């Protein structure tokens, strides 16, 4: 009896000594700047590899590790963001909450992300990344996604070129689309435009109204195929270096409902950075990837069929 009482005291003492930051709500407060954090963190001054970013990523990972136990607090926070948008006290740092929610709920989280993307445009990139994590795919792009110049703390990857192409095609942005193409794909586009205007080509390939979005997964191993922002530990296999001239990747596409809608082997070429090619993405590296498929018409047609309803 005394032993049982002693054990009970130990467990009770351990629970009482647990710091608020290690509970789901404590972690949520930390990630959304509602705890005692340095001014630099609240102002977003942490750079690539900074202590602030690493601490946030670690806290989001611990939040996801709580599993279903964290869902009530996460649901309340996301409900607040859905109701009040940027006025919500959970808006700052919401990206980490969405990623943790995606890790815990998997595909069940996807419909909520789609709904939120129509209501809260300020979270477009964060919601797309969380959607990709929930579906375990490389990337997801909602129709609300806009081209932005965002800094990346990593080398450029093929996903960056294909993302830009998809965003441009969904938004009917010819300049941005051309900026995402390598020489072979530009030649293919010129051939497609022979005897046609851009508007006529668009009408021939893009049939129907914009759908819920489009996702894809590179059918390969390594970092290139994994969703950006994934919190769970993965074996990080190296991919080819940017100096390799051409890369072919089997790409599995999904429609806005997360259902498979086609496959295409996409060719990428590496290219030095230029102002034109960096319309959407910037970073500390000198090489980017451009879509360089000679069968560009087939690729654009597939993207359109997956991204429309």
Model confidence pLDDT, tens digit, residues 136-172: 999 999 998 888 766 677 788 999 999 999 999 999 9
Considering the domain architecture, whether residues 29 and 178 belong to the same structural domain is answered as no
Considering the domain architecture, whether residues 116 and 243 belong to the same structural domain is answered as no
Considering the domain architecture, whether residues 166 and 288 belong to the same structural domain is answered as yes
- Confidence (pLDDT) at 155: 82
Average pLDDT for residues 25-37, to the nearest whole number? 89
Considering the domain architecture, whether residues 167 and 83 belong to the same structural domain is answered as no
* Predicted confidence band of residue 230 (pLDDT cuts 50, 70, 90): confident
- Confidence (pLDDT) at 175: 95
- Confidence (pLDDT) at 276: 54
- Confidence (pLDDT) at 36: 76
Give CA 97 to chain center in angstroms: 14
What are 96-151's pLDDT values in tens digits?
999 999 999 999 999 999 999 988 889 999 999 999 999 999 999 999 888 876 66
Two structure tokens written together for 12: 């009770």
pLDDT score of 255 more than 80:
yes
Let me know if residue 141 belongs to a domain. Answer: no
Average pLDDT for residues 172-193, to the nearest whole number? 96
Residues 6+ apart with CB under 8 A from 201: 192, 193
* Predicted confidence band of residue 300 (pLDDT cuts 50, 70, 90): very high
- Confidence (pLDDT) at 42: 53
Rounded to two decimals, the pTM is 0.85
Let me know if residue 158 belongs to a domain. Answer: yes
Considering the domain architecture, whether residues 157 and 106 belong to the same structural domain is answered as no
Considering the domain architecture, whether residues 282 and 167 belong to the same structural domain is answered as yes
Nearest C-alpha neighbor of 263 from the set 244, 284, 248: 248
Q: 287-291 and 139-141 as β-strands: parallel, antiparallel, unpaired?
A: unpaired
Using an 8 Å Cβ cutoff, are 180 and 161 in contact? yes
Residue 179 Cα distances to 139, 159, 167, 169, angstroms: 20, 15, 12, 12
Let me know if residue 165 belongs to a domain. Answer: yes
- Confidence (pLDDT) at 227: 95
Last residue of a domain, one of 71, 102, 121: 121
- Confidence (pLDDT) at 231: 87
pLDDT score of 18 more than 90:
no
Average pLDDT for residues 11-27, to the nearest whole number? 59
pLDDT score of 68 more than 80:
yes
Let me know if residue 266 belongs to a domain. Answer: yes
* Predicted confidence band of residue 1 (pLDDT cuts 50, 70, 90): very low
* Predicted confidence band of residue 241 (pLDDT cuts 50, 70, 90): low
CA distance 305 to 309: 8
Considering the domain architecture, whether residues 179 and 73 belong to the same structural domain is answered as no
Percent share of the chain, pLDDT over 70: 79
Let me know if residue 35 belongs to a domain. Answer: yes
Considering the domain architecture, whether residues 200 and 264 belong to the same structural domain is answered as yes
Q: Which domain holds residue 60?
A: 18-43+51-121
Considering the domain architecture, whether residues 159 and 201 belong to the same structural domain is answered as yes
Average pLDDT for residues 53-59, to the nearest whole number? 88
Q: Which residues pair with 288 in a beta bridge?
A: 271
- Confidence (pLDDT) at 246: 85
- Confidence (pLDDT) at 51: 57
Let me know if residue 167 belongs to a domain. Answer: yes
pLDDT score of 94 more than 50:
yes
Let me know if residue 185 belongs to a domain. Answer: yes
pLDDT score of 288 more than 80:
yes
Considering the domain architecture, whether residues 239 and 164 belong to the same structural domain is answered as yes
What three-state secondary structure class fits 110?
helix
* Predicted confidence band of residue 35 (pLDDT cuts 50, 70, 90): confident
Q: How large is the angle between the packed helices 110-119 and 71-84, nearest 10 degrees?
A: 20
More confident residue, 277 or 258: 258
- Confidence (pLDDT) at 156: 86
Considering the domain architecture, whether residues 286 and 157 belong to the same structural domain is answered as yes
Neighbours of 217 (CB within 10 A): 22
Number of domains in the chain: 2
Using an 8 Å Cβ cutoff, are 252 and 135 in contact? no
Let me know if residue 143 belongs to a domain. Answer: no
CA distance 303 to 179: 17
pLDDT score of 52 more than 60:
yes
Give CA 204 to chain center in angstroms: 30
Considering the domain architecture, whether residues 93 and 171 belong to the same structural domain is answered as no
Sign of the torsion angle spanned by Cα atoms 278, 282, 287, 291: negative
């Amino acid at each position: 009896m005394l032993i049982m009482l002693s054990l009970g005291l130990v467990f009770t003492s351990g629970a009482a000594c647990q710091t608020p930051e290690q509970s789901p709500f404590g972690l949520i407060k930390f990630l959304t700047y509602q705890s005692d954090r340095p001014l630099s963190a609240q102002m977003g001054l942490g750079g690539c590899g900074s202590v602030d970013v690493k601490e946030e990523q670690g806290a989001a990972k611990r939040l996801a590790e709580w599993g279903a136990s964290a869902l009530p607090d996460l649901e309340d926070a996301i409900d607040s963001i859905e109701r009040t948008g940027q006025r919500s006290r959970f808006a700052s740092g919401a990206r980490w909450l969405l990623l943790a929610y995606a890790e815990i709920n998997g595909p069940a989280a996807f419909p909520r992300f789609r709904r939120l993307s129509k209501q809260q445009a300020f979270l477009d990139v964060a919601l797309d990344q969380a959607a990709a994590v929930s579906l375990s795919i490389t990337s997801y792009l909602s129709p609300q996604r806009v081209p932005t110049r965002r800094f990346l703390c990593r080398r450029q990857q093929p996903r960056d070129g294909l993302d830009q192409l998809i965003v441009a095609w969904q938004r009917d942005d010819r300049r941005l689309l051309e900026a995402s193409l390598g020489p072979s794909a530009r030649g293919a586009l010129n051939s497609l435009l022979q005897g046609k205007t851009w508007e006529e080509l668009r009408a021939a390939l893009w049939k129907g109204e914009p759908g819920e979005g489009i996702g894809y997964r590179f059918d390969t191993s390594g970092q290139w195929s994994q969703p950006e922002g994934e919190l769970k530990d993965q074996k990080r296999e190296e991919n080819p270096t940017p100096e390799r001239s051409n890369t072919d990747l089997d790409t599995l596409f999904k429609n806005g409902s997360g259902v498979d809608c086609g496959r295409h082997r996409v060719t990428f070429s590496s290219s030095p950075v230029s102002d034109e090619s960096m319309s959407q993405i910037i970073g500390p590296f000198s090489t980017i990837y451009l879509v360089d498929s000679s069968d560009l018409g087939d690729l654009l047609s597939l993207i359109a069929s997956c991204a429309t309803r």
